[in-house]
Structure 1
């Protein structure tokens, strides 16, 4: 889809939202969820666009049972531009009348320092850390000062992330506490029989819903809290993206989608001698061995714990096997420029990249 520009999408929640993670949900368990995964956003927007372009959903329910989803889509009058659309995001965001500012996960190597300022982790030589041995010959990542374990989780604006990528510390004004833009609404429900529409004794369950705050800061003049994503689509489909209601975030939940200018992301430097790569969206690497990118010159890596990802298999009309993704915010130190395409691996990398997984941004480090 070379030559096609990206379009920004502002997503305003009309209610609480629910995005399940990949853990099983059965009796006596709590349905927990958090922020939406790339595949959730891609599936929701694709479905909404198909509905607006004459897709035959009733026929598709039968055709998909043959197993060839792409053939079934085309038989049911799927718009080719919708099928081939690519996505980025979604991210939490702040919006006003002028722009939408995405809020990105804090880099794994950047934490608040216990004393003051920031604690930044950087690669050290293996001989500098007694007893260090890594099976992949990676260098240890070491902090320059102790972190503040009590510091609240924070997000970075794009300007703040750009400062980090260029080797500077982000300004406090570019940092947003996670609890200031969203919270969780904990509820208890009871199962209802589909046949009799009556409740079943003892079938209680708990659920955790995502609730976006109305404004940041919490003041009438504050910016509105929303979600932000991007879509790259061929064809004359832009008019369908204006003021579109999209089912998103659970049964009966909707967001209002509005077309906005796309972000200007930091450009990569192909001549960099030492590069730092930051994951802006979660990714998948090879299912065997350690979750590391296949990039020449990989020197060190820093990542949080894997996040469970499942979803619905359209062809088989059932849940996908649970996989574990590397979370956004992971950082990789590379000798040389590296390549953005290296941060997504596997047989389905083309389809996964189309959904928005593995979006990486290049920065620099001294080496």
Structure 2
């Protein structure tokens, strides 16, 4: 069964995830904060969980676009938004305006539904692409000029493609043209359309080399929607708050080794091009117990490591990936740990490192919290 994180999220305006370390019991050294019954108390957070669909919209690009009407708007599930252009495409492109939808892998496609912008008829062509320098026409026609909803374009039996291009003739008066929404036959909605499945999904702009008219290369911005949840397991996502400067938090108690530097590692699902330390909307740790010199200390990650899985596409561009694992490592100095074998900590969502900007977007979902005497990375780990 395919589902989106929104279908399973638990909106936590003041949620207590049941279970605690308990009096007289050793604190755990590994916590899965998104799991039901995890020893975590959270407020203003979401539980995200799901499996990645077999196929999803991995990239959208177009010949041109107007600011605020970028091509990825056709897969955001909102008929009020749109991709739009006006006039002929920029040089060296010499034919009509176009938009391309790219899946994460090639698939059989029997039909597409297009919600055109405006009530004028479009003279269109649909082509499938096997690679960037080769397009094969699969359909052409004239739209009905229906501004109120989708029109179905039936594709030839046996159509198998990773990329579909929709091209239309430029209006004689250079009027605004475009598309509100596109649905690809065989892709589950909204799970396979990341911006529609999750309002907080990241869309990463990437400059890519593309062929024009089969012979010239240009750089074009392509927009890669990301999946904001990992493929399996459950995570806890700290959310921004409209009623407070800082965001949500999660309190937990975790085992430590007395008299030693300890490390707490958060395993995160990252879907932004930049790590959280650079872009903001990040997670800091705060101490919730100890003496006067220990209580209320704020800890930033001293190390952040990431797992990159880039597969090379034709002409060197990396294939769009849905996201990646990242590990944020926080050092607990031995003077902070003292003689304690467990510590109470808070994962706090903040706007930036200096904490002088409000949190405006969710932090990466936390899938695992682990304490140890060295930073931990669990590539290939199956326990979560």
Task: Place the TM-score, normalised by the shorter chain, in its bin.
Answer: under 0.3
TM-score where L is the length of structure 1: 0.24
Q: Which has the larger radius of gyration?
A: 2
TM-score relative to the length of structure 2: 0.24
Greater per-residue helix proportion: 1
Greater relative contact order (Cα 8 A, min sep 6): structure 1 or 2? 1
Q: Answer 1 or 2: which has greater strand percent.
A: 2
